[in-house]
Amino acid sequence: MSPLLEISGLRIATSGRLPVVDDVSLEIARSEVLAVVGESGSGKTATARATIGLLPPGLHVSSGSIRFDGREIAGLPHAELRSLRGPGIGMVFQEPMTSLNPALTIGGQLTEALALHGVSRAEQRERALAMLTRVGIQDPAQCLGAFPHEFSGGMRQRIMLASAMLLRPKLLIADEPTTALDTLTQADVLDLMVDLTREHGTAVMLITHNLGLVARYAQRAVVMQSGRVVETGDAAALLTTPRTLYTRALVEAMPRRMDARPPVPPSPVIEARGLTVAFGGRRRFFTLGRAVTAVDQVDLTVHQGETVALVGGSGSGKTTLGRALLRLVNPTAGEIRFQGADITRLTGQQLVPFRRACQIVFQDPFSSLDPRLRVQAIVAEPLRLMPDRSLDQVARMLAAVGLTGFERRFPHELSGGQRQRVAIARALIRNPAFVVADEPVSALDMTIQKQILALLRQLQRERGFACLFVSHDLAAVEEVADRVVVMQSGRIVEAGLRDAVFDRPQHAYTQALLAASPRLPTLTG
Amino acid sequence: MFGYALRRTLSAIPTLVLVAISVFVLLRVVPGDPALLILGDAASAESLASLRRSMGLDLPLWQQFSHWIARVLVGDFGTAITNGQPVLPLIIDRFSVTAVIVLLSVLLASLVAVPLGMVAAWRQNSATDLAVIAGSTLLLSVPSFWLGLMLLMLFGVWLQWLPVVGYVGFGENAAIALTFIIMPVVTLTLIEIGQLTRMARAATIDVLRLDYVAHARAKGLSEGVVLFRHVLPNAFAPTLSLIGVILGNLLGGIAVIETVFTLPGLGRLLVDAIFQRDYPVVQGCMLFIAAIYIVVNLLIDLAYPWFDPRVAVE
Amino acid sequence: MVFNANMMIGGGLVGTISGVAALATVWTPFSPTRVSLSSRFQAPSSLHWLGTDEFGRDVLSRLMVGAETSIGVALTTTVVALVLGMAIGLTAGYLRGWVDRVLMSLNDTLLAFPGILFAMGLLAVIGPSKWGIVLALGLAYAPTVARVVRGSVLSLREREFIEASRALGNGAFYTLIRHIVPNTVSPMIVLATSLFGLVILSESALSFLGLGVPPPAPTWGNMLASARPHLERAPWLAIAPGTMIALCLLGANLLGDGLRDLLDPRSTR
pLDDT interval class at A520 (50, 70, 90):
low
Do B218 and A94 make contact, defined as CB atoms within 8 angstroms? no
Partners of chain B (3+ Cβ pairs below 8 A): A, C
Ordered domains of chain B (ranges, CATH): 95-307 (1.10.3720.10)
Determine contact, residues A95/A179, Cβ cutoff 8 Å.
no
Show me where the domains of chain C are located: 2-26+58-263
Mean pLDDT of A381-392: 79
Which of A327, A351, A370 to probe the C interface (max C CBs under 10 A)?
Answer: A370
Q: Examine the pLDDT at A519 and tell me if it is beyond 80.
A: no
Smallest CA–CA distance, residue A143 to chain B, in Å, is 15
Closest CB to B219 among A86, A149, A285:
A86
Nearest CA in chain C to B249: C114
In sequence order, which residues have a C-beta less than 8 Å from that of residue A197 and are 6 or more positions away?
A31, A33, A165, A172, A203, A204
CA separation for the pair A44, A21 (Å, rounded)? 8
Pairing state of beta strands A220-225 and A228-234?
Answer: antiparallel
Q: Examine the pLDDT at A522 and tell me if it is beyond 90.
A: no
Looking at B3-147, which runs of residues are DSSP E strands? Answer: none
Partners of chain C (3+ Cβ pairs below 8 A): A, B
Nearest CA in chain A to C185: A372
Q: The complex's ipTM?
A: 0.84
The count of other CB atoms within 10 Å of the CB of residue B162 is 17
Nearest CA in chain C to B252: C117
Nearest CA in chain B to C224: B146
Closest CB to B206 among C121, C205, C268:
C268
Closest CB to C160 among A352, A367, A381:
A367
The answer to whether residue B187 neighbours chain A at the CB level (below 8 Å) is no
CA separation for the pair B5, B14 (Å, rounded)? 16
Determine contact, residues A276/A297, Cβ cutoff 8 Å.
yes
Predicted confidence at residue C268, as pLDDT, reads: 38
Mean pLDDT of A445-470: 91
Angle between helix A416-428 and A391-400 (nearest 10):
130
Chain B residues with beta carbon closer than 8 angstroms to that of A112: 216, 219, 221, 225, 229
Chain A residues with beta carbon closer than 8 angstroms to that of B313: 149-150
Determine contact, residues B253/A90, Cβ cutoff 8 Å.
no
Q: Examine the pLDDT at A284 and tell me if it is beyond 60.
A: no
Size of interface A-C (CB pairs under 8 A): 53
- Which CATH number is C2-26+58-263 given? 1.10.3720.10
CA separation for the pair C20, A142 (Å, rounded)? 68
| Model pLDDT for residues A90-148, shown as the tens digit of each residue | 999 888 888 899 889 999 999 988 888 888 999 999 999 999 999 988 889 999 999 99
The count of C-alpha atoms lying within 13 angstroms of the C-alpha of C193, restricted to the half-sphere facing its C-beta, is: 23
User: Nearest 10 degrees: CA dihedral of B172, B173, B176, B182?
Assistant: 80
Closest CB to B294 among C106, C112, C239:
C112
Do A100 and B215 make contact, defined as CB atoms within 8 angstroms? yes
The answer to whether residue B111 neighbours chain A at the CB level (below 8 Å) is no
| Model pLDDT for residues B44-92, shown as the tens digit of each residue | 778 878 877 777 777 787 888 888 888 888 888 887 877 888 889 899 9
The answer to whether residue C163 neighbours chain A at the CB level (below 8 Å) is yes
| Model pLDDT for residues B278-296, shown as the tens digit of each residue | 888 888 898 899 899 888 8
**How far from chain centre, in Å, is Cα A361?**
17
Determine contact, residues C103/C88, Cβ cutoff 8 Å.
yes
Do A84 and B220 make contact, defined as CB atoms within 8 angstroms? yes
The answer to whether residue B218 neighbours chain A at the CB level (below 8 Å) is yes
Q: Which residues of chain C have pLDDT under 70?
A: 1-3, 264-269
Determine contact, residues B265/B97, Cβ cutoff 8 Å.
yes
CA separation for the pair B231, B219 (Å, rounded)? 15
pLDDT in tens, chain B (314 residues): 678 888 888 888 888 888 888 888 887 776 667 777 777 777 777 887 887 777 777 778 788 888 888 888 888 888 787 788 888 989 998 898 899 899 999 999 999 999 999 999 998 888 999 999 999 999 989 998 889 888 888 887 778 887 777 777 777 777 777 888 888 999 999 999 999 999 999 999 989 988 899 999 998 888 888 999 999 988 988 888 888 888 888 888 888 999 888 888 899 999 888 888 888 888 889 889 989 988 888 898 888 888 888 777 65
Chain B residues with beta carbon closer than 8 angstroms to that of A100: 212, 215
Do C246 and B142 make contact, defined as CB atoms within 8 angstroms? yes
The answer to whether residue C179 neighbours chain A at the CB level (below 8 Å) is yes
CA separation for the pair C230, A105 (Å, rounded)? 60
Closest CB to C253 among B140, B146, B293:
B140
| Model pLDDT for residues A46-58, shown as the tens digit of each residue | 999 999 988 888 8
CA separation for the pair B86, A187 (Å, rounded)? 74
The count of C-alpha atoms lying within 13 angstroms of the C-alpha of B251, restricted to the half-sphere facing its C-beta, is: 28
- Burial status of residue A525 (CB atoms within 10 A of its CB: 0-12, 13-18, 19 or more): exposed
Predicted confidence at residue A290, as pLDDT, reads: 62
pLDDT interval class at A286 (50, 70, 90):
very low
Closest CB to B256 among C123, C124, C205:
C205
Smallest CA–CA distance, residue A267 to chain C, in Å, is 23
Q: Examine the pLDDT at A459 and tell me if it is beyond 90.
A: yes
The count of other CB atoms within 10 Å of the CB of residue A75 is 12
Do C164 and A326 make contact, defined as CB atoms within 8 angstroms? no
Q: Percent of chain B scored above 70 by pLDDT?
A: 97
Nearest CA in chain B to A52: B218
Looking at A289-332, which runs of residues are DSSP E strands? Answer: 292-303, 307-311
Predicted confidence at residue B313, as pLDDT, reads: 65
CA separation for the pair C90, C100 (Å, rounded)? 10
| Model pLDDT for residues A347-378, shown as the tens digit of each residue | 888 888 899 899 999 988 888 899 889 999 99
Query: Which phi and psi (to 5°) does residue A494 adopt?
Result: -160, 145
Do A85 and B124 make contact, defined as CB atoms within 8 angstroms? no
Predicted confidence at residue A86, as pLDDT, reads: 86
The mean pLDDT of chain A is 88
The count of other CB atoms within 10 Å of the CB of residue B158 is 12
